[in-house]
Amino acid sequence: MPAKSHILAIDQGTTSTRAIVFDREAAIRGIARREFRQHYPADGWVEHDPEDIWRDTLAVAKEALAEAGIGADRVAAIGITNQRETTVVWDRATGEPIHRAIVWQDRRTAPMCRDMAAAGAEIEIRARTGLVVDAYFSASKIAWLLDTVPDARARAERGELAFGTIDCFLLWRLTGGRVHATDATNASRTLLFNIHTQDWDDELLRLWRIPRRMLPAVTDNSTEFGIVDAALLGAPIPITGMAGDQQAATVGQACFEPGMVKATYGTGCFALLNTGEHAVDSPSRLLTTVAYRLGGRPTYALEGAIFVAGAAVKWLRDGLGIITHASQTDDLATRVPDSHGVYLVPAFVGLGAPHWDPDARAAILGLTLDAGPAHVARAALEAVAYQTRDLQEAMVSDGGDRPRSLRVDGGMVANDWLCQFLADMLAVPVERPAVIETTALGAACLAGLHVGLFSDLGAISAAWTRERLFEPRMDEAVRARLHAGWRDAVARIRSTRAAP
């Protein structure tokens, strides 16, 4: 019988689905990726077809196994990580979604959230969930589906419909509809989960008018969730790891000690500060969230969420046409000595932490006749660092220690120029790991932890290696001037929005 010494990680992201095969030393043996279609039915609306995601998940899993040169019978376990908050509701009998998935970026329910906050519910909701009342999270998306899709609310009350984030939907499909479950990290992003009691909260369900019977069971991040149908991949494989993408990256970056920080740069940017067993309240309106839960014990984090990072580079390519591939931004950024006073505030779907302004919209400021595509491209990259500095300052003001370093991952950090500018703007060293696919790696580590390929968190830490260190080298006066210009640009787009 073949040795089961590999982990298959499924990383279902906002713009693509990938699968990676890791060996027991956490080295990549096979990888496959597919982009899928984004749907924009109206201004600020973003949707995905769950069937596209399902088809791509199966396809990339098979392709990654083939590239690794192994069959499913060599896989010890599967780990799943996913775009968080994105909401799917499906028919329990048929498994068919009742509507396209509403993506975390979607802003259609912003008025509903404003009404909820205006009614005085935000203090209580924040106390229970650690989150702000915002369209970013799942609760208002579920409510919109129940109120909008014909007969959906009545069907939900009868127990005919199931809700899940993407991890939950994939688990349901992979197990042939036998398992309806999620993990504590994904549950903590719904505005329905009490992060202190570690259970769905009846008062929150009442406020959002969501039937409890729609909701999945909530488990640890490393446990046996279910068994994949043998017909799907060629052998039955246990699914033993699951976490939302940013929490999975926290595990993949081995940020297991309080005070450690990681930032993932993909479609958006998400920085998590490990706060240990304490759920720290944030006066700066950062998010208090579950970093991971093992053995029934949660570890918490402060999180800053930037809605648009890599998505701005995608816009340079698909919207403006000034690049044909994301990697060209590195060349453009180094072609000019600076951004020539150009700032791009990428509020295409509003501003996340610490502003939480759903109505802000993107703008390019400081243009002159001698500004060109290279300056705009550089400004798009610089905006990522400016927003990260905003998050760092908010974490420090909330009582966190200034980080000794920042561990970075995600597709954008392959760009050396960006990593150096991050170090310069934050005034701390930036550590880039040997495996930048840390989201998938974290899912693999959680899966491997349950089946014994990793003995404990220390073994995961030992497997983490740094590929490159970027030391800050910018003069403090220059750093302060650039960031002051960024703050002015943000203030201008917010004041413009508020003008009569």
Alpha-carbon span 425 to 482, nearest angstrom: 9
Contacts with 487 (C-beta within 8 Å, 6 or more apart), sequence order? none
CATH number for the domain spanning 29: value is 3.30.420.40
| Same-domain pairing of 334 and 394 | yes
Strand stretches in 87-148, DSSP E: 88-91, 101-102
Range of the domain at 360: 253-433+465-500
Three-state DSSP state, 213: helix
> What's the DSSP call for residue 182?
E
> What's the DSSP call for residue 317?
I
33 falls within a domain: yes
479 falls within a domain: yes
Opening angle at CA 262, ends 401 and 168, nearest 5: 125
Three-state DSSP state, 94: coil
| Same-domain pairing of 266 and 306 | yes
Residues of the chain with pLDDT under 70: 1-2, 400-401, 495-500
End-of-domain residue from the set 221, 246, 271: 246
Residue 280: per-residue pLDDT: 87
| Same-domain pairing of 204 and 280 | no
Sign of torsion, CA 344 351 279 291? negative
| Same-domain pairing of 258 and 237 | no
| Same-domain pairing of 340 and 394 | yes
pTM of the model: 0.85
303 falls within a domain: yes
Residue 346: per-residue pLDDT: 87
Residue 449: per-residue pLDDT: 94
End-of-domain residue from the set 246, 277, 297: 246
1 falls within a domain: no
161-164 and 75-82 as β-strands: parallel, antiparallel, unpaired?
Answer: unpaired
String of DSSP letters for 20-33: EEEETTS-EEEEEE
End-of-domain residue from the set 246, 277, 294: 246
> What's the DSSP call for residue 286?
P
CA 286 to chain centre: 15
Residue 426: per-residue pLDDT: 93
Cα distances (Å, whole numbers) of residue 144 to 182, 212, 366: 21, 16, 39
What tokens does 280 get? 């720290």
Alpha-carbon span 472 to 304, nearest angstrom: 22
Residue 500: per-residue pLDDT: 36
Contacts with 478 (C-beta within 8 Å, 6 or more apart), sequence order? none
Radius of gyration of the chain (CA): 22
Strand stretches in 311-447, DSSP E: 343-345, 363-365, 406-409, 430-433
| Same-domain pairing of 269 and 135 | no
Cα distances (Å, whole numbers) of residue 3 to 22, 31, 453: 14, 20, 12
Contact between 287 and 414 (Cβ < 8 Å): no
pLDDT in tens, 423-453: 999 999 999 999 888 899 999 999 999 999 8
Three-state DSSP state, 139: helix
Domain count, the chain: 2
Alpha-carbon span 364 to 489, nearest angstrom: 9
Alpha-carbon span 412 to 90, nearest angstrom: 34
144 falls within a domain: yes
| Same-domain pairing of 228 and 136 | yes
| Same-domain pairing of 173 and 257 | no
Contact between 388 and 263 (Cβ < 8 Å): yes
Alpha-carbon span 283 to 261, nearest angstrom: 19
446 falls within a domain: no
| Same-domain pairing of 241 and 257 | no
Reference 98, options 54, 67, 157, 142; nearest CA is: 142
Alpha-carbon span 212 to 157, nearest angstrom: 9
| Same-domain pairing of 52 and 183 | yes
Question: Count of CB atoms within 10 A of residue 25's CB?
Answer: 9
Edge to edge, what strands does the sheet with 75-82 contain? 28-35, 16-23, 6-12, 75-82, 238-244, 222-227
Reference 403, options 488, 482, 304, 289; nearest CA is: 304
Write a three-state SS string for 425-436.
Answer: HHCCCEEEECCC
491 falls within a domain: yes
| Same-domain pairing of 354 and 416 | yes
16 falls within a domain: yes
Alpha-carbon span 402 to 376, nearest angstrom: 31
- 409, burial (CB in 10 Å: exposed 0-12, middle 13-18, buried 19+): buried
Contacts with 259 (C-beta within 8 Å, 6 or more apart), sequence order? 273, 274, 400, 401, 403, 404
| Same-domain pairing of 137 and 264 | no
